[in-house]
Amino acid sequence: MTADRAWWRRAVVYQIYPRSFCDRSGDGVGDLDGIRSRLDHLATLGVDALWLSPVFPSPMADFGYDVADYCGIDPLFGDLAGFDALVQAAHQRGLRIILDWVPNHTSDRHPWFAESRSSRDSPRRDWYIWRDDRPDAAGGSGPPGSPGRRPNNWRSAFPGVGLSGFPPAWTYDQDSGQWYLHLFLVEQPDLNWSNPEVRAVMAATLEFWLDRGVDGFRMDVIHDIGKDAALADLPTDVAGIPMCSLIDYPVTHELVAGIRSVVKAAPPPERVVIGEIVLPTVAQVASYYGTPERPELDLAFNFHPLHAQWTASAWRRQIDDAHGIIEAAGGWPTWVLSNHDNRRHRTRYGTEARARAAAVLLLGLRGTPFLYAGEELGLADAEIPPDRRLDPGGRDGCRAPIPWDPSDGHGWAGDPWLPWPPEADRGRTVAEQASDGASTFNLYRRLLELRRASPALQIGTFEWLGSSAGVLAFRRAAGGGPEGGGGDERVVAVNFDGGSGWAELPTGAWTVQVSSVADRGGPDGCGAGTVRGRLEVAPDEAAVLAPGSRSH
Ligand code: GLC
């Protein structure tokens, strides 16, 4: 398979947060049957693959990212038969299924941890990362297990209620008299990947799902799994930062390459290996694609653009980095505007007009775009009253349930676990948006249709075009060898500003195929006329143009 044939390079992936997608059982939590019942919607939208956040048995301390059994389905979501039915129904519609695999830590209720914790002599003691008191730490003369005697100064991920700063990454187990490491919650002990039994048992969990026909994995904080045996203190200037977003030991690359080979050993079609990398530089993200001799991830999440301001200069830099750092290192970029861990981009950018322009940008860039369920409706984060806050990481707002229709229950069988997003009672539902040609849903649908039909947008080259200060414009091109003919080209222009601007167009006639501004020249958002030389871009507008005069 040549690199460009790798399906994930042409795909658009749609992230489902199962708890919040669609509830059929009536308990107010989304489930697998709910997802299955909405596959036609996803096929109409036009995405290629569905990534499901974890659906495995879990005490839900981190809403599924604390796994108690890697080879099952939590009863909240359904069962294995329901999972198989979902995979089959998705495949029938040409939709691939990607599972979320959580290798860095288990739940503290996983039987492996229960056994590991039970005694220092447990055969599974070394499956997790246990350390003795450190006698010489600052103030370290206290009794065993006192704060000054933690094995090192690392911090864990989520600020606890009432705490200033991030809590320590170690918890003392009184019964066995040692500390265990958890880069996330106390309930999420880190696995010890230097232990060959851990590597083998985790490989078997991948094989379990590969055998059930999944198309690949999104691997949770995969850069966290390698731990240097010394577990040295962080320098004091960065010691307040959670270690999960700094840790980057060379040994991890070897581990990721090994995990990849387990996935790639599955029979065709080739399965994808996507990794979540949350590290300070784009170069660190790029390093997890590996090398030709030792490949690692097929796709590595790069969240730097997600954290960038919505300005032309910030985004120009992000795009240049994706090409100049990730592609230069042999990787294929990923693009993410929203997910279950961050405020939605509609909320971050402040207006729907900007969120729509961002959708055009996202689906015009070179790399694999990831959509987060609900962004196609232009959803903003829900307001969560203090008495309904559930997530230890404060991420409830972006996890609000998807409103499917205008009825009181918005298509949910039970009262949802979190409040509805804004405007659910004022037209911002799937059913209402689907029947409104100018809706954000139909903008996404058109963009996805366009991308699917355009090799230039999917895998074509990228070249900047001239533009006014607040605008970014670029040309994508594919095919069309030296003899010419058969080539495919598009121009994408994005105005990040509230003022009007312009973009220079390559020679010849160009036609606006899709604009984020619904009334540009026609009810379907398409420009009526032919443009030459320069495109005037309205405030907050983004558009995709094709060569030639308008033909329909
Ligand atoms: C990842 C997940 C996040 C989770 C964390 C710990 O960052 O996206 O939701 O809390 O890992 O598993």
For 298-320, the pLDDT digits (tens) are 999 999 999 999 999 999 999 99
Instruction: Answer whether 221 contacts ligand 1 (Cβ < 6 A).
Output: yes
Atom of ligand 1 nearest to the CA of 339: 8
183, 263 in Cβ contact below 8 A?
Answer: no
263, 271 in Cβ contact below 8 A?
Answer: yes
Instruction: Output the CA–CA distances (angstroms, integers) from residue 418 to 54, 499, 507, in the order listed.
Output: 18, 38, 52
Atom of ligand 1 nearest to the CA of 158: 10
- Cβ contacts of residue 112 below 8 Å, gap of 6+? 106, 124, 127, 128, 201
pLDDT one-digit tens code per residue, 341-360:
999 999 999 999 999 999 99
| Mean pLDDT computed over every residue of the chain | 94
List beta partners, residue 289. none
Question: What is the predicted pLDDT for the residue at 168?
Answer: 95
477, 414 in Cβ contact below 8 A?
Answer: no
pLDDT one-digit tens code per residue, 166-177:
999 999 999 999
Least reliable range by pLDDT among 94-103, 141-150, 310-319, 543-552: 543-552
In this prediction the pTM is: 0.96
Count of all residues that appear for the chain in the document: 552
Question: What is the predicted pLDDT for the residue at 552?
Answer: 46
Strands 299-300 and 272-275: parallel
> Side chain identity at 41, as an amino acid letter?
H
Instruction: Answer whether 187 contacts ligand 1 (Cβ < 6 A).
Output: no
Least reliable range by pLDDT among 5-14, 109-118, 128-137: 128-137
Atom of ligand 1 nearest to the CA of 184: 6
Residue 348 sits at the vertex; the CA angle it makes with 346 and 354, to the nearest 5 degrees, is 50
Structure tokens at 336: 């993410």
Write the burial class of residue 284 (CB in 10 Å: 0-12 exposed, 13-18 middle, 19+ buried).
Answer: middle
pLDDT one-digit tens code per residue, 420-437:
999 999 999 999 999 999
Ligand 1 mean position, distance from CA 286 (Å): 20
- Residue nearest ligand 1's atom 6 by CA: 65
Ligand 1 mean position, distance from CA 244 (Å): 10
Smallest CA-to-CA distance from 53 within 242, 276, 212, 358 is with 276
Other beta carbons within 10 Å of 105? 29
pLDDT one-digit tens code per residue, 386-418:
999 999 999 999 999 999 999 999 999 999 999
DSSP conformation letters of 332-394? --EEES--TTS--HHHHH-SHHHHHHHHHHHTTSSSEEEEETTGGGTPPPPP--GGG---TTS
**Residue to mutate, 65, 100, 191, 274, ligand 1, most ligand atoms under 8 Å from C-beta:** 65
pLDDT interval class at 135 (50, 70, 90) = confident
Instruction: Answer whether 184 contacts ligand 1 (Cβ < 6 A).
Output: yes
Cα 492 from Cα 477, distance rounded (Å):
11
Q: Residue 525: pLDDT above 90?
A: no
| b/e code 320-329 from CB counts within 10 Å (16+ = b) | ebbeebbbeb
Whether 220 sits among the annotated catalytic residues: the reply is yes
Question: What is the predicted pLDDT for the residue at 5?
Answer: 65
Average pLDDT over residues 310-337: 98
Instruction: Answer whether 185 contacts ligand 1 (Cβ < 6 A).
Output: no
Q: Residue 328: pLDDT above 50?
A: yes
pLDDT interval class at 523 (50, 70, 90) = very low
Instruction: Answer whether 220 contacts ligand 1 (Cβ < 6 A).
Output: yes
Atom of ligand 1 nearest to the CA of 340: 9
H/E segment holding residue 441: helix 440-452
* Three-state secondary-structure class, residue 393: coil
Phi-psi map region of 47: left, alpha, beta (phi>0 left; psi -120 to 50 alpha) = beta
Cα 157 from Cα 184, distance rounded (Å):
5
**Residue to mutate, 62, 108, 336, ligand 1, most ligand atoms under 8 Å from C-beta:** 62
In what order do the strands lie in the sheet containing 170-173?
130-131, 178-181, 170-173
Q: Residue 153: pLDDT above 70?
A: yes
Q: What is the largest CA-CA distance in the chain?
A: 80
* Three-state secondary-structure class, residue 43: helix
Least reliable range by pLDDT among 7-11, 312-316, 373-377, 482-486: 482-486
Q: What are phi and psi of 52, to 5 degrees?
A: -100, 125
In what order do the strands lie in the sheet containing 96-101?
299-300, 272-275, 216-219, 96-101, 49-52, 13-16, 368-372, 334-336
Structure tokens at 360: 């055009």
523, 488 in Cβ contact below 8 A?
Answer: no
* Residue in this structure with the two tokens 């962080």, named with its chain if needed: 234
Strands (DSSP E) found in 297-406? 299-300, 334-336, 368-372
Whether 541 sits among the annotated catalytic residues: the reply is no
pLDDT one-digit tens code per residue, 230-274:
999 999 999 999 999 999 999 999 999 999 999 999 999 999 999
Cα 398 from Cα 18, distance rounded (Å):
13
Ligand 1 mean position, distance from CA 407 (Å): 33
Q: Residue 485: pLDDT above 70?
A: no
Atom of ligand 1 nearest to the CA of 278: 7
- Residue nearest ligand 1's atom 5 by CA: 65
369, 377 in Cβ contact below 8 A?
Answer: no
Selected catalytic residue, list 220, 224, 298, 396: 220
Q: Residue 208: pLDDT above 70?
A: yes
Selected catalytic residue, list 66, 215, 276, 375: 276
Ligand 1 mean position, distance from CA 220 (Å): 6
pLDDT one-digit tens code per residue, 28-43:
999 999 999 999 999 9
Average pLDDT over residues 81-110: 98
Cα 426 from Cα 439, distance rounded (Å):
13
Instruction: Answer whether 62 contacts ligand 1 (Cβ < 6 A).
Output: yes
- Residue nearest ligand 1's atom 4 by CA: 65
List beta partners, residue 372. 15
Ligand 1 mean position, distance from CA 10 (Å): 26
Structure tokens at 392: 């230890």
Instruction: Answer whether 65 contacts ligand 1 (Cβ < 6 A).
Output: yes
Distance from the first to the final alpha carbon of the chain: 37
124, 198 in Cβ contact below 8 A?
Answer: no
Instruction: Answer whether 448 contacts ligand 1 (Cβ < 6 A).
Output: no
